Amino acid sequence: MSEHVVPLRIYYTVFAALLFLTGLTVFVAFFDLGTLNTIVALTIAVIKATLVVLFFMHVWYSSKLTWVFVGAGIFWFLILIAFLFGDVLTRDWLPTAVGWEGN
Amino acid sequence: MSEASSPLAHHFDDLSQQKEATSLGMWTFLVTEILFFGGLFAGYAQYRGAYPHAFEAGSHHLDIVLGGINTVVLIASSLTMALGVHASQLGKRKKTAIFLLATVALGLVFLGIKAAEYTHKYHEGLIPGAGFALQGAERQQMLFFAFYFVMTGLHAAHMIIGVVVVTIIAFQAWRGRYSPAYYGPVEVTGLYWHFVDIVWIFLFPLLYLLGRH
Amino acid sequence: MSTQIEPRKVETELVGTPAPNYLTNGFGLKSWLLTIDHKRIAILYLVSITAMFFLGGLFALLIRLELLTPQGDLMEAEMYNRMFTMHGIVMIFFFLIPSVPAVLGNFLVPMMIGARDLAFPRINLLSWYIFVIGAIITLSAVILGGVDTGWTFYAPFSTTYSNSNVALAAVGVFITGFSSILTGLNFVVTIHKMRAPGMTWFRLPLFIWSHYATSLIMILGTPVLAIAIVLVAMDRLFRFGIFDPALGGDPLLFQHLFWYYSHPAVYIMILPSMGVVSELVTCFSRKRIFGYTFVAFSSLAIAVYGFLVWGHHMFTSGQSIYAGLLFSVLSFLVAIPSAIKVFNWSATMYKGSISYETPMLYAFGFIGLFTIGGLTGLFLAATSVDVHVHDTYFVVAHFHYIMVGGAIMGFLGGLHFWWPKITGRLFPEAWGKFAVLMVFAGFNLTFFPQFVLGYLGMPRRYHAYPDEYQVLNVMSTAGASILGVGYLIPMVYFLWSLRYGALAGPNPWGAKGLEWTTPSPPPTENFDETPIVTEEAYAYSKEEPEIVGGKQSTRASLR
Amino acid sequence: MLENFPLFPTQASTIAGEVDLLFFFLIAVASFFTGLIFLMVTVFAIRYRRRASDEIPKPNLGSLRLELIWTAIPLLIAMTIFGWSASLYFKMARVPDDAMDIYVVGRQWMWKFQHPEGNREINDLHVPVGRPVRLIMTSEDVIHSFYVPAFRMKMDVLPGRYHTTWFEATKPGRYHLFCAEYCGTQHSGMVGSVIAMEPRDYEAWLAGDTSGGSMAARGGKLFNQLGCVTCHVPDGSGRCPTLVGLFGNPVQLITGEQVVADEAYIRESILQPNAKIVSAYQPIMPTYQGQVSEEGILQLIAYVKSLAPASGETPGTVGPAQATPGTNPASSSQ
């Protein structure tokens, strides 16, 4: 993107970090943390993805416009998730009649 | 994006405008890819929330070792691609081609492992549809495998396109087409490749690491 | 930033031999089918979407003829279901979505911002080829027996119970989606990176603002429709069972994915026409737009809010009540920017010098009919009224008021306005005015009775209906035939004008804008040298602007 | 053609009047703004028409005050409409508790009704006037939509889910029943009528043909036929949880979660037994997918409902009585 040439050592440190995080996510998967498992797995994946985006894809060194485009893509995906789950999670909440006590 | 002779396209004022436009164009395309895969991830998330039991049982059928190896292979290919772009920025013709070909090789390894997994699933009768082996109460796992095959299949399709494009760019880099002033196509192909790697970074934990305890 | 291109010698213009322009720059099929000139691609699009428009219109007339009688005896139920499905698919995916952006947008976006072409000319040609391939595949589905799922492809009917070629039509629509994505991508990059020196964002014509907002929707929405269509195709061809209720699949997931794109898609259809109307109103009132920044940002607001409201298509579908109310309040909010635009257009005419040429009549028609269309949208956003009118002819009337009354009126207005620039010929003014009046009359007679039918409870997509609805249906069919003829007339005199139309000078309407500074038809590279922009858009007069309605606008630097 | 030509639908249910009131308010707002815009455009177009061909009008600047005015006023009107429609929508969604149940099954191109007393009808539904009627609806194949224009009510009918809606007829008469969601070839043929009758006539009609006994009775027969009774022994001694007093009360699952045993839970347990397994029990129940029809499931549910504990003491199944805060004690179904 930019004319900026990224020094090689950054690539290698990012590569090492990605390998470590992959190992970590597999390691953590073998513990039963209940719903926490998913959260941890997703957080690690987000960290790995951010590393790839910022350094391998040079977004760290590029114009604000690129940041806006990347941010917009992620934000619109979150809109889909938010409103889809807004419906799915509350689909069973019916306004029960006052004084409901079984049929 | 430009004629063989001078790299500057007729409708651009200068090379830097062309470079910025090319990169912005690829980033816009990657935004459409985020939402393309996003629709799948949204469906996957809803069904996994509704049927955690069926998804965990389905995930146990997957081979975690092969998945892990594939993740490492793809991360390595991202590194070689980044080094390839780095080399083309510095005008090193041969190094760029070598790194890009390394990326292609790693991509082919990934596709090979993927093909092995698919044939394994075929023999186990886990391909969703008429021939799905599990019946009765277990049949709901077909939803997991439906998402598994659509998501990894779509990802593999993107890998194949990536392998073809990177091979072409590697060949052109070998012929000295790119220079420190004109390396847009190499970088843009790199962006695409890194995106495909990021999709796998999310696919691996969501599909392979369910309920492993 | 602009390198100097040696000025071309302009030969003296001999009568009959026009100066070399993009139309005379190469003849024969190859020069058209392999062109990367955005202007020629615009004309390729114009020809293909006109063909699709008349095909879709034919389906519409057959539907209206069928509904003349309650028993529905013109055709069988299967045939009728295929008719309304193909009417929907052809009109939406192959006419309304590409019409203004791909024809007028392709032609004018580079010219209005002072560029020589779009950022990716070859991708632009690829976008047209993808459109044609998608059209061929979808129409082959028609020839092989049609598809009867409605343009909405709702599961589980589309995935398991329909026995028409749904997969083929799905592949066709899937491919056509990429044509729209690539057009959007081209516009966004061009508007960001290729504006002429001095063309700041707030000097852009509002046509560009509306196309920028439309391109955002094309980029952010179309992929989700693509994946929804892929899932339907997977379900149908390989029985994956993603939407199969017996397995626990959720048909509402398809509706969410479908409407996530399909509601913003209605803004893809209306926003470009709003851009056209902003150009028409300013040119024929010879005045700057009233409240430029408000009209510009309302385009962006419509594009962004448009993504938060899709649930109002699913109020009665079993979607949760609380999500329904959330979508309802957001749907009311999305109506506000449209209201701002309409008020600003009207205010632009205040103390203007208004002339009634054909394009301006289309603009009047747009403002009137779009207002009715937008306000009936409030009926549908209110959940309790929507429960009664959802999936009835009230909804059909609402979206036709916006699509036909708004988008097509805007498209025709723009086509008439820029026809002299595109072809170098003037169309016959009298016939133009006559066609507008006919379209306006035919339109209202067709769709206003459908509001009444809708509240009476006649459901959509019925080929037979109770007797008491017949009178209103007959009125609607009568209107449809007038509307049909009204659309044929421009086709005739446009073709006629190619041969016999008076030669149009560079600026027949005296309009402002970089595209009017070029000869018509313009040379292939648009400008001999990249123009430098010094004034804001629509600067018709050089005098000091007076203040309207008291307090000085805070954006004094708006000048 | 002209003798029967209404322009406005009859009002035959309690909420019809209120919906029409909101509808008229909306018409008033719409016609006011349409008139305003039409007037503005016509007056300006005529008054400021172009007199000389080279006439250049004095430019005028935008004005923030005007912009704020025509943003705030439409916003205000929109929010009042929203508030009004939301309160009415809640009233439409909340089923009164004294409502009588009717089970509806939609299938490609007909409506099938079952009254708890046993009467079964196709396409025609007899209901008493003046009593709220709760419809528990599902579909056997594609999405349909139960729509009675005269009652101003419509609810989609999805396969694999129970949807609940209600109405209360106010005027006796025969009203159109349409399918409003496109469902295939005979979508326009999937029509019927709702016949609202005086309560006396309804009781007489009801007593007419209770041939096969009440739904609960038929459900009991099916319960035995399918062999459910071998495991679900009433006194809880079988290998499966007893069903006495199960309906409407919370159930403790092996995952630690707690769900309310409503129609959807029972239906899911019949078709996908492993989806929710009751704590302290093994997942040994086979699936009955394809062996029992939608009507059969509804009859089984009616039977389970009828197994209320005789003396009303705490139900047999283990589990704390009060509902967990997260999930409302859903009335009858999703």
Domains defined along chain C, listed by start: 39-526 (1.20.210.10)
* pLDDT above 70 (res D201): yes
Distance CA B85, CA B99 (A): 9
Check residue C5 and give its pLDDT.
Answer: 44
**Res C383 pLDDT > 50:** yes
The domain over range D100-208 is classified in CATH as 2.60.40.420:
yes
> Is the predicted pLDDT of residue C2 greater than 50, yes or no?
no
The pLDDT of residue B12 is above 80:
yes
pLDDT surpasses 50 at A100: no
Whether pLDDT at C72 is above 90: no
* CATH code of the domain containing B85: 1.20.120.80
B28 domain residue, yes or no: no
- What CA–CA distance (Å, rounded) separates B136 from A90? 29
The CA distance from C308 to B118, in Å, is: 39
The nearest CA of chain A is from the CA of B126 a distance in Å of: 24
CA atoms within 13 A on the CB side of D17: 6
pLDDT at D308 over 90: no
Among A10-19, D204-213, D272-281, name the one with the lowest average pLDDT. Answer: D204-213
Chain D residues with CB under 8 Å of B136 CB are: 286-287
Q: Is the pLDDT of residue B2 over 60?
A: no
pLDDT of residue D209: 66
Check if B3 contacts C (Cβ < 8 Å): no
> Which residue in C148, C367, C452 is closest to D41 by CB distance?
C367
> Averaged over C404-410, what is the pLDDT?
95
Cβ–Cβ contact C256 with A under 8 A: yes
Q: Are C286 and C192 in contact (CB under 8 A)?
A: no
pLDDT for res C16: 52
Lowest-pLDDT range, B142-151, B159-168, D293-302? Answer: D293-302
CA-based nearest distance B89→chain A, Å = 7
Tokens representing C256 are 């969410």
Distance in angstroms (rounded) separating the CA atoms of residues D306 and D290: 25
At D1 the pLDDT is 65
Question: What is the SS3 assignment for A80?
Answer: helix
Q: B44 in contact with C at a CB cutoff of 8 Å?
A: no
What single-letter amino acid sits at C506? Answer: P
Tell me: pLDDT of B99 over 90. yes
Neighbours of B182 (CB within 10 A): 18
Question: How confident is the model over C527-541, as pLDDT tens digits?
Answer: 888 888 888 888 888
Q: Which of C121-135, C256-270, C480-494, D106-120 has the lowest mean pLDDT?
A: D106-120
User: Range of B129's domain?
Assistant: 34-208
Q: Does B181 touch chain A (CB under 8 A)?
A: no
Question: Which residues of chain D approach chain A closer than 8 Å at the C-beta?
Answer: 90, 93-97, 101, 164, 247-249, 264, 305, 308, 327-332, 334
Residue C44 has pLDDT above 70, yes or no: yes
pLDDT band for C548, please (50, 70, 90 cuts): low
The dihedral sign for the CA sequence C149, C154, C159, C161:
negative
- The torsion angles phi and psi of D274, rounded to 5 degrees, stand at -80, -10
* Beta strand segments in D171-329, E: 173-179, 192-197, 250-252, 258-260
Examine the pLDDT at D307 and tell me if it is beyond 90: no
Q: Is the pLDDT of residue C253 over 60?
A: yes
- Are C311 and A83 an interchain contact pair (Cβ–Cβ within 8 Å)? yes
Do the beta carbons of residue C207 and residue C169 sit within 8 Å?
no
Maximum distance among all Cα pairs of chain C, rounded to whole angstroms: 76
Asked if residues D20 and C457 have their Cβ atoms less than 8 Å apart, the reply is: no
Arithmetic mean of pLDDT, B12-23: 87
Band (B6; pLDDT cuts 50, 70, 90)? low
The predicted-structure confidence for A45-89, as pLDDT tens digits, reads as follows 999 999 999 999 999 998 899 999 999 999 999 999 999 999 999
pLDDT: which is higher, C300 or D327: C300
Residue pair D181/D205 in contact (Cβ under 8 Å)? The answer is: no
Which secondary-structure segment (H or E) carries D114?
strand D110-114
Please state the domain count of chain B: 1
Q: In terms of pLDDT, which residue wins out, D293 or C72?
A: D293
Query: A95 or A82: which carries more pLDDT confidence?
Result: A82
- CATH T-level assignment (fold) for domain D215-306: Cytochrome Bc1 Complex; Chain D, domain 2 (1.10.760)
Mean pLDDT value across residues B70-74: 96
- Mean pLDDT throughout D225-243? 82
Q: Report chain D residues whose CB lies below 8 A from the CB of B211.
A: none
Nearest CA in chain D to B50: D275
Please report the pLDDT score of residue C549 as a whole number: 54
Which residue in B47, B48, B51, B53 has the most chain D C-beta atoms within 10 A of its own C-beta, making it the best mutation to test that interface?
B53
Across C376-404, average pLDDT? 95
Q: What is the pLDDT of residue C4?
A: 42
By CB neighbour count within 10 A (0-12 exposed, 13-18 middle, 19+ buried), where does C74 fall? middle
Closest Cβ–Cβ partner in B24, B42, B146 for C192: B24
Q: Give me the mean pLDDT over the B167-181 stretch.
A: 91
Does residue B15 fall inside a structural domain? no
B8 touches chain C (CB under 8 A): no
Q: Where are the domains of chain A?
A: 8-90
Q: Are C462 and D188 in contact (CB < 8 Å)?
A: yes
Q: How many CB atoms lie within 10 A of CB C477?
A: 20
pLDDT at D177 exceeding the cut of 90 = yes
D127-168 residue pLDDT tens: 999 999 999 999 999 999 999 999 999 999 999 899 999 999
Spans of all domains in chain D: 14-45+62-93, 100-208, 215-306
The pLDDT value given to residue D212: 66
The string of pLDDT tens digits covering residues C261-315 is 999 999 999 999 999 999 999 999 998 899 999 999 999 999 999 999 999 999 9
High-pLDDT (> 70) share of chain D, %: 90
Average pLDDT, stretch B126-149?
Answer: 86
Inter-chain touch C323–A87, beta carbons under 8 Å: yes
Residue B1 lies inside a defined structural domain of this protein:
no
**Calpha distance D255→D261 (Å, rounded):** 16
**Which residues are registered as beta bridge partners of D13?**
D169
B136–D275: do the CB atoms touch at under 8 Å?
no
* Section A26-45 average pLDDT: 90
Q: Residue A98 pLDDT > 80, yes or no?
A: no
Residue B13 domain-assigned (yes or no): no
Instruction: Provide, as residue numbers in chain D, all residues whose Cβ is less than 8 Å from the Cβ of C391.
Output: 145, 147, 154, 180-181
| ipTM for the assembly | 0.90
The tokens of C224 are what?
A: 């989700």
Number of CB pairs, chain A paired with chain D, less than 8 A apart: 45
> How far D241 CA lies from chain C's nearest CA (Å)?
24
d(C-alpha C391, C-alpha D149), whole Å: 12
Mean pLDDT in residue range D171-192: 93
Average pLDDT over residues C5-29: 62
Average pLDDT, chain D: 85
> How much is the average pLDDT of C160-171?
92
